[in-house]
């Protein structure tokens, strides 16, 4: 019995120590001369909507977890819709190639930026 408990504790410590925690801050950069409106639906079907004023940067999410910034963008966002003056962009903002990812302290701390440009609505 003691060997079983020791084995379980050892395996638990081993598995927990292997999971790195990522800390990410996600921003929208509105490069348009008008405000944009964003609606994000996540995997839990929670919808978050907000507006970003023209020519500003807005932090819309931050947190820690075992998901990489790429995983957050490509797999946590079920829908990512951006509209400007009633026109919805057809750009796939879940494509991580559109985002700018900057390591802050090390490979586990990031600032992640999504530029929204006027040509996204053409």
Give the domain CATH number at 45.
2.60.40
Say if 75 falls within a structural domain.
yes
Say if 14 falls within a structural domain.
no
Residue range of the domain that includes 28:
20-121
Task: For residue 30, give both structure tokens.
Answer: 């509105």
Give the model's pLDDT for residue 11.
Answer: 47
Say if 53 falls within a structural domain.
yes
SS3 37: strand
pLDDT tens for the 122 residues of the chain, in order = 555 555 454 544 444 455 578 889 999 999 999 999 999 998 888 899 999 999 999 999 988 888 888 888 988 888 999 999 999 999 999 999 999 999 888 888 899 999 999 999 98
Q: Which stretches does DSSP call E strand in 2-88?
A: 22-30, 36-42, 47-52, 57-65, 77-84, 87-88
Say if 4 falls within a structural domain.
no
Q: What's the structural domain count of the chain?
A: 1
Angle, CA 58 vertex, CA 100 and CA 50 arms, to 5°: 115
Beta strands 77-84 and 57-65: pairing type? unpaired
Say if 57 falls within a structural domain.
yes
């Amino acid at each position: 019995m003691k060997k079983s408990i020791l084995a379980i504790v050892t395996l638990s410590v081993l598995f927990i120590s292997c999971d790195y925690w990522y800390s990410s801050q996600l921003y929208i950069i509105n490069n348009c001369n008008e405000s944009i409106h964003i609606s994000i639906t996540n995997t839990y079907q929670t919808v978050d909507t907000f507006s970003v004023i023209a020519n500003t940067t807005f932090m819309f999410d931050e947190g820690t977890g075992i998901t990489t910034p790429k995983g957050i963008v490509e797999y946590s966002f079920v829908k990512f819709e951006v509209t400007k003056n009633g026109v919805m962009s057809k750009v796939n903002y879940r494509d991580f190639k559109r985002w700018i990812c900057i390591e802050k302290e090390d490979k586990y701390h990031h600032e992640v930026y999504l530029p929204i440009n006027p040509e996204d609505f053409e």
